[in-house]
Amino acid sequence: MSQSTLAATQPAAIAQAVAFPVLGAISLCHLLNDMMQSLLPAIYPMLKGGFDLSFGQIGLLTLTYQSAASLLQPLIGLYTDRRPKPYSLPFGMGFTLTGLLILARADSFAWLIVGAAMLGIGSSIFHPESSRIARLASGGRHGLAQSVFQVGGTFGQSLGPLLAAFVILPHGRASLAWFALAALGGMAILTALGRWYQTRGRTRTPARSAAGRVSALPRRQVSRAMAVLLTLMFSKFFYLASINSYYIFYLMDHFHLTTQDAQICLFVFLAASAVGIIVGGPIGDRFGRRRVIWGSILGVLPFTLVLPYVGLAATIGLSVVIGLVLSSAFSAIVVYAQELMPGRVGMVSGMFFGFAFGMAGLGAAVLGAVADWTSIEFVYRVCAFLPVLGMLTALLPDIEARRRVA
């Protein structure tokens, strides 16, 4: 068989070689990682009362956590593109474990800040290299693999409010230490995945092979497309910051729900987001990631505009639709960016996961200050217009069409 024939048949063969056990394992670890990290915002009502915190201090906690994650992730991704470090994954989860223990025993706001920073460092180490493992196990179905990987994280985030409502609230903040067992289990699985990566992962879908299947774009066009993607990420995650950090307070203040009932409502939103991630990746593989980005960011606008003006039942229903639609874009955005910059999986993953964390942290801090000055209701009325930025998707090049022509 000639080299050209072999090259032509290789993508089809790769597409049949999806390593689902590896994808399942890395998604499970993503679930454990983000579940533990989501416990911080889930216990904000407890921390606010126990430490007499303002909304601004709540935002500062989120900013510390998200900044530690966002600033380090691109640097770690860039480094591991050149020198992959699969065994860094259990090491990163060790930071998460330490952060939980600090939060469980903290006796001042300063120690809460330290615990939040440790959680952020753990996340910054976990995401770039675990995203690389998911792509290596994808067999060429990158959208599917990214969705399976991300849905673990989103479902893990959705468990945070439930665990806070049914475990931490009844037993106190010290019960956070119980989740160290989940961290230890994750470290064991990640060690096994590191071994798989060393022995077999490098032979699956090398970055250079992927680069050969993507049409090159001029540097200026790539830079503009990356700027558009980051702006869309700003729109998405600034809005999500209003939900993740303040939705519980909004429901308690606006509808007089109990803390436990409000946390269950947050779980409903996050569970819908997990479903959206599952759907978004395969749809992007089949119909094009640009279309998914269009429909997700701009398509959610009518629902965000209505949300601040409806009753409790409609608020919960709209939150489901918003979570479902808005979350479908993330895997499409990440894979689209990876295809814009082939061979830079770690850097691109670190950049976008880091930017997501950074925007969420900045959004929480800014929106917390705005809520202190005005009200939670005002925050939701203003944030409702953020999806208008989805119109910028028109500036993205249709790289799927270019690949078909090539």
Q: What is the reported pLDDT for 338?
A: 80
CA dist 60 and 361 (Å) reads: 8
- For 232, 306, 325, 384, the CA distances from 301, given in Å and listed in that order, are 13, 9, 10, 7
- CA–CA distance, 154 with 162 (Å, rounded to integer): 14
pLDDT means per 10 residues, the chain with 406 residues, are 38 54 92 90 86 87 82 78 80 93 94 94 86 82 80 81 85 90 94 85 45 60 89 87 86 90 88 83 79 89 94 95 88 83 74 72 81 89 92 84 55
For residues 304 and 381, what is the distance between their CA atoms, to the nearest angstrom?
A: 8
CA distance 315 to 198: 48
Give pLDDT, residue 1. Answer: 39
| pLDDT of the residue at 357 | 66
What confidence score (pLDDT) does residue 318 get?
Answer: 95
| Res 7: pLDDT | 37
| Overall residue count recorded for the chain in this entry | 406
Spell out the domains of the chain, with CATH numbers in brackets: 18-405 (1.20.1250.20)
pLDDT at 402: 58
Q: Do residues 266 and 280 make contact, with C-beta atoms less than 8 angstroms apart?
A: no
Q: Which helix (H) or strand (E) holds 90?
A: helix 88-105
Stated pTM of the model:
0.67
The pLDDT score that the predictor gives to residue 401 is: 59
